[in-house]
Structure 1
Amino acid sequence: MAKTRAMLVPAYMQQFSCIGSACEDTCCAGWQVAVDRNTYKKYNKVHSDLKPFLDSHVKRNRSSKGDEDYAKIALKSDMICPMLNEEKLCSIQLKLGESYLSNVCSTYPRVSNIVNGILEKSATMSCPEAVRLALLNPEGIEFNETEESTDIRNAVKKQLNTSDVPQNQIELFFWELRIFSIQVLQNRKYSLAERLIILGMFYQNTEKLINTDHIFEVPQLIATYTALLGGQGVSDILSEIPTLSTIQMELLKNLVDTRVIKGIRSQRYIDCLGEFMYGINYTKESSVEEISRRYQAAYNDYYKPFMEQHEYVLENYLVNYVYMRLFPLGSGNNVFEEYIMMVIHYAMIKMHLIGMAGYHKKDFSLNHVVKLIQSFAKTIEHNSLYLREVRELLRKNEYNSMAYMAILIKNN
């Protein structure tokens, strides 16, 4: 009997399978294709008509520090993998079989982490089919405990063990923080903007507990906020936050310009960016105030009516983000900075969609939302250098505060 391992997955993962050449995009273009050490060695032993292609296109990665990116496939001048045939199918898989795919190619768009010895699997939103399955479910994301065969390959991204950390470390409360975050994001008693602001206030206070060595007060803080969410006190706090779309546009313009300067390879994202700019008549000659007025008009006239019916899409995006990235401890112990990066992702997606809604007007649809989120993920979420620059930009301009985050989140 085949050996199995325990696994925790969002329900949508049990429906996912690659749709191949029917896909409106390809994961074999626009980014570097890493080849792990074992696969590289297999390629050296291949005896088939594919051997000359492999020899000329698979190159050792001299800057590699590990086995996962031991080599790489040299892309063509149009940034497309040379192994992709005219039907948008992989020649390696067709001629040699799936076992000859590198770890990256065989597992994408699946993201695997291990938490306390349990495999957790989800999907990155840079795949259109994954976006449809994960985000277009009005019932929200649910999680299932299941098992999979140990023969299935996984490229494990992060590992977290909360059982053997020192008693003064925030990792002790990872599960409580994660469950609370997802519960807040899925609490439809409040708008998504309100949920994000509540979560921000919570993580600002959590950060204070960490910095003052009071982490054992975290469970009590969770209990306090849970009670607050069940009462009426939240609405008064939220109503005091101003709506300042001028500041939104200044910060978001900074972030977008930073990315545009670096060059964009995804034509789908270029399409969306063009629609965003056209939708709010974004020109270099326009003042930030003028652009902000048009942005707010697109929000009120087209985005808001649409999103009031489909807010579950962005809720699902954020829940998947929290789960996939081991939020709030996926990148270290600064939980409030992790929250800031999540808000930046949300705010940039929302900004694009507002402009696109202004462009498409009454024809704005879920297809446009899928296209934007998928191409945004491919262009921005997979670019660690850009995300580091975003963090630096926020610090430099002193935007990394709850006051600024609330302004970014709130449009009305």
Structure 2
Amino acid sequence: MTTRLVEALIPEYIKSFSCIGSACEDTCCAGWTVNIDKETYNKYKKVKQPTMKSRFKDNLVKNRSNPTNTNAAKMKMNQGNCSFLSREGLCDIYNNLGEDYLSNTCAIYPRKNRIVNQIFEQSLTVSCPEATRLILLNKDGIKFEQGFQELKIRSLVSLLPEFKGEIKDWKDYFNEYRYITISILQDRRYTLEERLLILGLFYNELQECINKNNLKDIPNILGEYLKCVEDETFLGAFTEISKRKDIHLRLCKELVILGLNQTVTSKRYLECLKDMIAGLKIEDISSDEDTQKLYENSYEKYYLPFMKENEYIIENLLVNYVFKDCMPINGDSPFDSYSIMIINYALIKIHLVGMASHRNEITIEMVIKLVQSLSKTFEHDPKYYDSIINLLKEKDMMTLAYLSILVNN
């Protein structure tokens, strides 16, 4: 992996990250497919060291149906683990051949590299436990640095060609959307759920503008929301909104059922899921009313007090998501992108409330374990999120995805 001097926009936490190897409570070498890029695959075919040559021959599966530069082959998995994962939890390829022989997938993870509007961006994904701690546990919030940086770069994806000054698509305002979204998420004059409500109003209005093909009105919307937030126009604006815990619970039960239908390989997530289901008695013969009472009691007794002290944790998670996934251009439309973010939030919330009901507490360690394992299980499976969006549309529940955040007494 070469080091280059590039113009970059990166979160400050990037500089503090380093893999903790076998000391990690999870492994990135299990639970998903390990794709091998074409350049690395060709390197492996030329390896002359007898033992490694034999292992590559036995454990590399060539992609014969649809080979690409990024997916020329994949590793065979041994009981869910990469065939080159040692008993000590280390990589045999790295130990025997060095870093240059790692595939792009393995060399980059948990980093995410891309070019956006001609600027290099790098972030971390929360499917790595150490990255999760680094991202979530900064009480001062995520800060960003822009300028020329010496960074290790490998395998870039380019998004959004350089803007030429003529607005032709709603995505041309990407920098403005991101700036406003992160600014609102980090504005601690408002509760986190108030911030999410403001964003819901913003993205709904933006969506209506796009649906009517009134792109020229977008700058006015951007300016109005920035001014309203800065002037504290929204302070106290949501106190009269009905608190619909039944809607939130209905949405989350649908999401949990959908999740249970997926193939789950993460033992850490299955432990969280088991605690949540037991805490809310979702698979029990209990009625919806009983489940709702369990939810409300746990929410009041454990979730709400914990979040009053540690709301910055979820703030950091959402800010990192917005930056890492280039919200809102990661969805088919701005409001679809917002809905996906709210789905992430709703899933974390229902799990934590259920886990707290079962364990009679919420700890920072529980949050880290849940966020990391949930991300590793579902966020790396685009089909899961497609299924969620389709489910919500089929059941006319897109509004519920929005209303699900209105759980705040």
Q: Same fold (TM over 0.5)?
A: yes
Deviation at 1:155, TM superposition (A): 2.8
The aligned residue for residue 348 of structure 1 is: 347
Does the 8 Å contact 1:241/1:406 carry over to 2? no
State how many pairs are aligned.
406
Alpha-carbon contact 2:346-2:404 (below 8 Å) kept: no
Residues of 1 paired with 2:324 and 2:4: CA distance?
Answer: 25
Worse-superposed segment, 385-394 or 232-241: 232-241
The residue type equivalent to 2:342 in the other structure is V
Shift of 1:232: 5.2
CA distance in 2, matches of 1:229, 1:171: 23
Contact kept? 2:244, 2:406, Cα under 8 Å: no
8 A contact 1:116–1:162 mirrored in 2 = yes
Deviation at 1:253, TM superposition (A): 1.2
Give how far 1:278 is off. 2.1
Structure 1 range deviating more: 37-46 or 252-261: 252-261
Question: Are residues 1:394 and 2:396 paired?
Answer: no
Answer yes or no: is the 8 Å Cα contact 1:6–1:119 preserved in 2: yes
Q: Read off the aligned partner of 1:307 and give its amino acid letter.
A: M
The percentage of aligned residue pairs carrying the same residue is: 37
2:281 is matched with which residue? 281
Local SS of the residue matching 1:8: strand
Question: In 2, are the aligned partners of 1:303 and 1:358 still within 8 Å (CA)?
Answer: no
8 Å CA contact 2:61, 2:73 repeated in 1:
yes
Q: CA deviation at 1:31?
A: 0.3
| SS of equivalent residue, structure 2 residue 139 | coil
Q: What's 1:378 paired with?
A: 376
Structure 1 counterpart SS, 2:48: coil
Whole-angstrom distance in 1 between the partners of 2:261 and 2:209: 39
Paired position in structure 2 for 1:205: 205
SS at match of 1:292: helix
Residues 3 and 243 (structure 1 numbering): CA distance in 2 closer, same or farther, change over 3 Å? Answer: closer
Alignment of structure 1 residues 146-295 onto 2, 5 Å: 146-149=147-150, 152-164=152-164, 167-231=167-231, 233-235=233-235, 237-295=237-295
**Alpha-carbon spacing, 1:216–1:60, altered in 2? closer, same or farther (3 Å):** same
Contact 1:178–1:327 at 8 Å: present in 2 too?
Answer: yes
| 2:343 and 2:401 in contact (8 A); partners too | no
- 1:168–1:213 CA contact under 8 A, matched in 2: no
SS at match of 1:239: coil
SS at match of 1:50: helix
Alpha-carbon shift at residue 239 of structure 1 (Å)? 2.4
Secondary structure in 1 aligned to 2:145? strand
Alpha carbons of 1:298 and 1:225: their partners in 2 closer, same or farther (altered >3 Å)?
same
1:305 is aligned to 305
- Which residue in 1 is equivalent to 2:57? 55
Query: Which of 72, 75, 79 in structure 2 is aligned with 1:73?
Result: 75
- Contact 1:30–1:79 at 8 Å: present in 2 too? yes
Shift of 1:240: 3.4
* Counterpart amino acid of residue 66 in structure 1: T
The Cα of 1:117 is off from its aligned counterpart by 1.3
CA offset at residue 20 of structure 1?
Answer: 0.4
Q: Is the 8 A contact 2:196 2:405 kept in 1?
A: no
1:148 positional shift: 4.3
Q: Provide the residue aligned with 1:335 in structure 2.
A: 334
User: What residue in structure 2 maps to residue 366 of structure 1?
Assistant: 364
Give the deviation of 1:205 after TM superposition.
0.4
CA distance in 2, matches of 1:199, 1:13: 27
Q: Is the 8 A contact 2:11 2:143 kept in 1?
A: yes
Instruction: Specify every segment of 5 or more residues in structure 1 that has no aligned partner in the other structure, as ranges.
Output: none
Distance of 1:53 and 1:407 partners within structure 2: 50
1: CA distance between counterparts of 2:293 and 2:183? Answer: 35
Which residue of 2 is the match for residue 143 of structure 1?
144
Give, in whole Å, the separation in 2 of the partners of 1:3 and 1:61: 31
- Report the RMSD for the aligned CA atoms in angstroms: 1.7
Q: Letter of the aligned partner of 1:22 in structure 2?
A: A
- Distance in 1 (alpha carbons) for counterparts of 2:84 and 2:153: 21
Please say if residues 67 and 73 of structure 2, whose CA atoms lie closer than 8 Å, have aligned partners that are also in contact.
Answer: no
Paired letter, 1:384: P
Deviations 1:110-156 (A, max 9, x none): 01121111110001100000000111000000001244447x33233
Amino acid corresponding to residue 341 of structure 1 in structure 2 = I
Task: State how far apart, in whole Å, the 2-side matches of 1:310 and 1:384 are.
Answer: 30
Alpha-carbon shift at residue 158 of structure 1 (Å): 4.7
CA distance in 2, matches of 1:198, 1:85: 49
| Distance in 1 (alpha carbons) for counterparts of 2:327 and 2:406 | 19
Q: Is the 8 A contact 1:281 1:291 kept in 2?
A: yes
Deviations 1:37-56 (A, max 9, x none): 00000000001121111111
TM-score normalised over the length of structure 2: 0.95
SS at match of 1:262: coil
Match of 1:23 in 2: 24
